[in-house]
Amino acid sequence: MIGRGTALFIIVSLLMTLAVASAPARADGCISKSGYYVASLSADINPGATSFLSASVANAEAACDGRIVFILSTNGGDPVSMQSMIASIQSYESPWNGTFVTLIAPMGAFAFSMGSYIAEASSEIYMVNGTMIGLATPPAGENTNATKGLSAFTNYMQALTLANGRNQTAAGLMVSQGLSYTAAEAVRYDVITAMLNATTIEGALQELGVPPSTPINTAPTTTTTTITQSVTTTVTNTQTLTKSGTTSTTTQTDTITQSVTTTEVGIAIRGIAIGGIAIGTGIAIAGIAIALSIRSRRGAAHSSGPRTT
């Protein structure tokens, strides 16, 4: 026989279970945001990178993934694209309330120039050993809508860093003095969140608690293949002329060579599962250029010239 206390416990448990099961989705349509979305960019900061990050944020929000891990290695790029990428990061963090993490990896990677601003705009920054961040001095004469001059870039970097609770003074020196920091230095000066023990991307993701089955979505890459084919066509024209009882035959052979060049640009967008199988899709864009060269040779083995018989 069930006691009164046990019965009450069962009833309360059932009510709590029903309440959770029937809980409406939040305004953003997500009941929970416990998943990870991993994106990887190893390229310049340009409009293509902006589109890639914007799409990554949209995909993460659609999947209700509450943490984006952005694997970054870049020499930098243009400030306008950098600002657009930071806008995507900020829209994901607020009002969507996600956590944006920049991971500078693997060993040998770096977040230089505009890449360091993107990193400092993130809630969390992690670096593996053998990586660097900094060299954020803007190009001479740089002038954009939101940033004008070295002082403005420095203030912008400091504001991004301070908003995420890191050392704005050390971050500002990456701009005003063009400093760069190793992973160990960045930790010591509180420019990043932490340095990881791993040296590989897979190891770093594992340290960050990303499930092994999580795919790594990489930025599109392009490959160009050029194929040239030659097609030769021979046209023979024979004329017979009779004059004053004498018949002569003239034979002319024209050789037309067509050189057909096909250029295919493949755009590959890959999703790679950690420890799994690489999956790739390609889009081929073909353009064909045809060049015609006509040669007329007479009296040779391949082109017989006028011949009287």
* 243 shares its domain with 154: no
* 288 shares its domain with 199: no
pLDDT at 278: 35
CA 142 vs. chain centroid, Å, equals: 24
* 60 shares its domain with 134: yes
Q: Is residue 44 part of a domain?
A: yes
* 132 shares its domain with 160: yes
pLDDT at 3: 58
Reading the chain (309 residues) residue by residue, the pLDDT tens digits are: 555 554 544 443 444 333 333 333 444 689 889 899 999 999 999 999 999 999 999 999 999 999 999 999 999 999 999 999 999 999 999 989 999 999 999 999 999 999 999 999 999 999 999 999 999 998 775 555 444 689 999 999 999 999 999 999 999 999 999 999 999 999 999 999 999 999 999 999 999 999 999 999 998 765 444 556 665 666 566 666 666 666 666 666 666 666 655 544 444 444 544 343 333 333 333 333 323 333 333 333 333 344 333
Q: Give the chain's length.
A: 309
Cα–Cα distances (Å) from 219 to 39, 60, 101, 267, in that order, read: 8, 15, 17, 10
* 194 shares its domain with 111: yes
The residue segments making up the domain with residue 140 are 31-219
pLDDT at 247: 67
Q: Give the pairing of strands 124-128 and 35-42.
A: unpaired
Q: Is residue 6 part of a domain?
A: no
Q: Is residue 238 part of a domain?
A: yes
Looking at the 3D structure of the chain, how many domains does it have?
2
Q: Give the pairing of strands 99-104 and 65-73.
A: parallel
Q: Is residue 279 part of a domain?
A: yes
* 133 shares its domain with 181: yes
Q: What are phi and psi of 139, to 5 degrees?
A: -60, 150
* 254 shares its domain with 205: no
pLDDT at 139: 78
* Residue 231 burial class via C-beta count within 10 angstroms: exposed 0-12, middle 13-18, buried 19 and up: exposed
